[in-house]
């Protein structure tokens, strides 16, 4: 089976990594909080659980997450997507990611970026579990089932 080629984009990956790291550092510096997307979004959307002063920066963070790809598209044109176009499979994948972030009490940004930087044992375990699961998923989908 012929699999689609994947572009090697080290400069774009480096720039993205630097921006993610910078946002994590700035979030900790200015707000004393971990830049875990799941926690930020869930508390931004739950007004009764969080005072307005804490909710405002969370909403700004979410707006920035949504505005960034629009800004990139406006400045440099559309970015080619490399994810599957199989919508049912993407829906199941999104559901599984949501379940995984609930079980693991956090997401890749909270555990992988911030937790590892803080030498959190829980984050080391979480990252090991979700990275192993990701590798196994790609192995099965690409090489056993041929679904991607």
Q: What is the pLDDT of residues 19-33, one digit of tens each?
A: 889 988 998 899 888
Q: Does residue 57 lie in a domain region?
A: yes
Same structural domain, 28 and 41:
yes
Q: What confidence tier does 71 reach under pLDDT thresholds 50, 70, 90? A: very high
Q: Provide CB contacts within 8 A for 69, sequence distance 6+.
A: 79
User: Considering 26, 49, 82, which residue would you say is the last residue of a domain?
Assistant: 82
Q: Do 87 and 112 lie in a common domain?
A: yes
Is residue 1 situated within a structural domain? no
Q: What is the tally of structural domains in the chain?
A: 2
DSSP 88-115: HHHHHHHHHHHHHHHHTTS-IIIIIIII
Mean pLDDT for the chain? 84
Same structural domain, 62 and 100: no
Print the domain residue range for 57.
8-82
User: Residue 5: what pLDDT?
Assistant: 63
Sequence-distant contacts of 86-94: CB under 8 A, at least 24 apart: 86/147, 89/147
Residue 2 domain-assigned? no
- Residue 48 pLDDT > 80: no
pTM for the model: 0.70
């Amino acid at each position: 089976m012929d699999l689609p080629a994947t572009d090697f984009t080290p400069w774009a990956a480096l720039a993205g990594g630097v921006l993610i790291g910078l946002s994590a550092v700035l979030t900790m510096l200015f707000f004393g909080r971990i830049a875990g997307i799941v926690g930020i979004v869930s508390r931004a959307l739950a007004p009764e659980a969080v005072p307005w002063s804490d909710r405002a920066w969370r909403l700004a963070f979410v707006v920035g997450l949504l505005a960034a790809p629009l800004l990139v598209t406006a400045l440099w044109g559309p970015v080619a997507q490399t994810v599957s176009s199989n919508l049912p499979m993407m829906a199941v994948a999104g559901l599984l990611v949501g379940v995984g972030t609930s079980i693991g009490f956090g997401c890749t940004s909270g555990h992988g970026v911030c937790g590892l930087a803080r030498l959190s044992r829980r984050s080391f375990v979480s990252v090991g579990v979700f990275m192993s699961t990701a590798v196994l998923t790609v192995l099965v989908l690409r090489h056993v089932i041929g679904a991607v």
